[in-house]
Structure 1
């Protein structure tokens, strides 16, 4: 029997706003992507769903949504780090009819009771017709 992916659980209020920052509840926003019921329509939507996956600890989704050429074999999330908020700073391409795109974002977290941020400009592409994360652009 296959092991289920380790999860930190769904958002505190499963009917509250999704961790990605959209106003939709998690089950209607990133939940269907995480469950494999639908695909992200844009690079930004994939970015948001990946942030939510970090927030709830869904490593299986993170690996599934990673480009095959850059995907690690395993992913271990830091249990002491809690992702709290996502800001999209900008996006180029990555739309419905694009094959590549970039998304700049700032992700907020808490670790050891202290706030922190991660700012990244990420590259996305389509692989087998699905948006996937490739890597971070260098500063």
Structure 2
């Protein structure tokens, strides 16, 4: 996954991803697209300009708009979020039918832009789901 992270942080990130993915299954979502700093930090262990795409099954993808030294098999540099679906398709990742966005934390124009990225996919609010997951602290976070 990431090349410069400690094993302890990687284990913790995997726990966080699994917690989010389980909540997504319960919610009936296929994926989550994260764009805000607090949730980028929670899902990646750092803040960067870009997006985290977490499918309900499998490994998260990290789309970086400004290179910050984040490296790994699922880290891709992008100029704009509209590139994400094509890059996922090229990697053999199925596109979501229902995707969660952070409606509480995005501006209206950001929400509109990101909701259009995945075409006909239903967009729903993932803010409460993320808050619930972040509220349960792991030993690493404590």
Fold agreement, TM-score > 0.5: no
Task: Tell me which of the two structures has the higher relative contact order, counting C-alpha pairs closer than 8 angstroms and 6 or more residues apart.
Answer: 2
**Which structure has more helix as a fraction of its residues?**
2
What TM-score range do you get, normalising by the shorter chain?
under 0.3
TM-score (norm 2): 0.26
**Which structure has more strand as a fraction of its residues?**
1
TM-score (norm 1): 0.26
